[in-house]
């Protein structure tokens, strides 16, 4: 794009943005060693869109280093774009497609459908079910591969260059703190959205419960004796009714009974979020929820396998050194395969192992350009690379 065309495009964007509230954020100072990008699930989705779009892992590494060492100036977020001046006074912009008026109407319908959605957004949270409901209504809130369009005045031809990558990595911190930043990129600011919601008929919150004094007057009844653990679970016998998905109720009842049995037997108590529990249900009860890779990861490694599928992080150096020694030892009789190292992911051709936070290595295989879980985790990375089927 020529300089004149860029100036014209920016002028058009700024003219449209005058109707919206652009937001400015102070430059991030240099971060401590080991600082993480994107701790929220929607922030991680933003990072994934960036990394899946990148054509050069080396530029991404430089971008992460620039982001952590404070090489990005103050960030401006406005409808359709984020911008900053980076090192050497380069003008860096990342563009995001804005939602149409019709898409905003459908999104507001989904937000207004549940009072909990409004409360979550105001509490700076982005519920999974809201994003999924929006997607079902053909409203893409989270960016996917190719949705981020980087531009920079530097001479680098990378897509993105290290400056645009650094800007995107720092933007993930902004998204973590406030999902309204993402909504502003998509075209509308917080105040505008709140006013639009106030003009709608919001769901009434029914009054429930009893006065506290009355509840305390009843005292605390004794707990019943625990049920025997050797009694098999009997599926619920339910009559179909209007608006009732009997099969779904049976699956939920069976799942609840299984979890309760594990807790009574003294099994580990793992707290799952809504998304993890949905994946668990799909994996244990063969439900078709469009979560194929996630389900496969859960079947191989539970919550640890799911995290290995969806997140990348930097293991301690001592872990990486030990893993390298194990790999070298496994190929004593022949040269070891060429392994490309990136964070907790080690790739050898079409095979990959990922180090999980639980201390285990999860094997993956590339199929149709995507990485798929390929087997149960191992303590030894070389054993994971030799998983049957890889």
Residue 216 structure tokens:
């305390």
What integer pLDDT is reported at residue 334 of this predicted model?
A: 62
User: In this structure, are residues 376 and 367 in contact, taking their beta carbons and an 8 Å threshold?
Assistant: no
pLDDT of amino acid 332: 62
> Residue 378 has what DSSP assignment?
B
Reference 186, options 85, 121, 103, 109; nearest CA is: 103
Q: In what order do the strands lie in the sheet with 361-367?
A: 340-342, 345-348, 351-355, 361-367, 370-373
What is d(CA 361, CA 311) in angstroms, rounded to the nearest whole number?
Answer: 14
| Predicted local distance difference test score (pLDDT) of residue 8 | 40
pTM listed for this prediction: 0.49
Burial 338-363 (b: 16+ CB within 10 A, else e): ebeeeebbbbeeebbbbbbeeebbbb
In this structure, are residues 351 and 390 in contact, taking their beta carbons and an 8 Å threshold? yes
DSSP reduced 3-state for 354: strand
- Tokens describing residue 101: 């008026």
pLDDT of residue 90: 93
Tens digit of each residue's pLDDT, the chain (390 residues): 443 444 344 444 444 444 457 899 999 999 887 788 988 999 999 999 888 888 888 899 999 999 999 999 999 999 999 999 998 899 999 999 999 999 999 999 888 887 788 888 888 888 888 888 888 889 988 888 788 899 999 998 888 999 999 999 999 999 999 999 999 999 999 888 888 888 876 555 455 677 777 777 877 878 777 767 666 666 667 676 777 777 777 777 777 777 777 777 666 666 778 888 888 888 887 777 778 889 899 898 888 899 999 888 898 888 888 888 887 776 665 666 678 888 889 888 888 899 998 889 999 998 888 899 988 898 888 887 765 444
Crossing angle of helices 246-264 and 274-285, rounded to 10° = 100
Residue 10 near residue 151 (C-beta atoms within 8 A): no
Residues 150, 161 contacting (CB under 8 angstroms): yes
Domain boundaries of the chain, sorted by first residue: 3-198, 269-390
Q: What is the DSSP letter of 107?
A: H
Please give the pLDDT value at position 257.
75
Residue 128 to residues 189, 221, 283, Cα–Cα distance (Å): 20, 37, 18
Report the C-alpha gap between 254 and 375 in whole angstroms: 26
């Amino acid at each position: 794009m020529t300089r004149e065309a860029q100036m014209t495009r920016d002028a058009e964007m700024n003219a449209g943005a005058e109707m919206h509230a652009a937001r400015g954020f102070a430059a991030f100072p240099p971060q401590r060693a080991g600082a993480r990008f994107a701790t929220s699930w929607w922030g991680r989705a933003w990072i994934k869109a960036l990394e899946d779009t990148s054509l050069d892992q080396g530029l991404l590494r430089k971008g992460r280093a620039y982001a952590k060492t404070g090489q990005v100036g103050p960030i401006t977020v406005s409808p359709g774009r984020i911008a900053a001046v980076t090192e050497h006074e380069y003008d860096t912009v990342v563009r995001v497609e804005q939602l149409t008026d019709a898409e905003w109407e459908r999104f507001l319908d989904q937000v207004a459908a549940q009072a909990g959605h409004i409360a979550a957004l105001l509490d700076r949270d982005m519920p999974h079910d809201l994003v999924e409901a929006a997607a079902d209504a053909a409203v893409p809130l989270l960016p996917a591969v190719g949705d981020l369009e980087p531009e920079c005045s530097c001479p680098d031809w990378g897509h993105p260059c290290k400056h645009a990558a650094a800007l995107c990595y720092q933007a993930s911190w902004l998204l973590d703190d406030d999902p309204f930043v993402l909504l502003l990129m998509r075209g509308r600011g917080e105040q505008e959205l709140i006013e639009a919601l106030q003009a709608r008929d919001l769901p009434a919150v029914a009054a429930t419960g009893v006065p506290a004094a009355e509840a305390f007057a009843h005292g605390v009844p004794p707990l019943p004796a625990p049920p025997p653990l050797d009694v098999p679970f009997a599926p619920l016998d339910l009559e179909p009714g209007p608006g009732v998905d009997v099969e779904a109720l049976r699956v939920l009842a069976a799942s609840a009974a299984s979890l309760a049995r594990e807790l009574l037997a003294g099994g580990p108590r793992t707290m799952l979020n809504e998304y993890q529990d949905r994946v668990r249900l799909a994996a244990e009860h063969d439900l078709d929820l469009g979560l194929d890779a996630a389900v496969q990861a859960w079947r191989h490694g539970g919550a640890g396998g799911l995290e290995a599928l969806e997140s990348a992080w930097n293991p301690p150096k001592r872990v990486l050194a030990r893993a390298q020694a194990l790999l070298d030892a496994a190929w004593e009789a022949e040269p070891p395969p060429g392994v490309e190292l990136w964070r907790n992911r080690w790739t050898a051709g079409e095979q990959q192992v990922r180090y999980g936070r639980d201390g285990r290595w999860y094997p993956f295989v590339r199929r149709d350009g995507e990485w798929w879980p390929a087997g149960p985790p191992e303590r030894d990375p070389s054993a994971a690379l030799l998983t049957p089927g890889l």
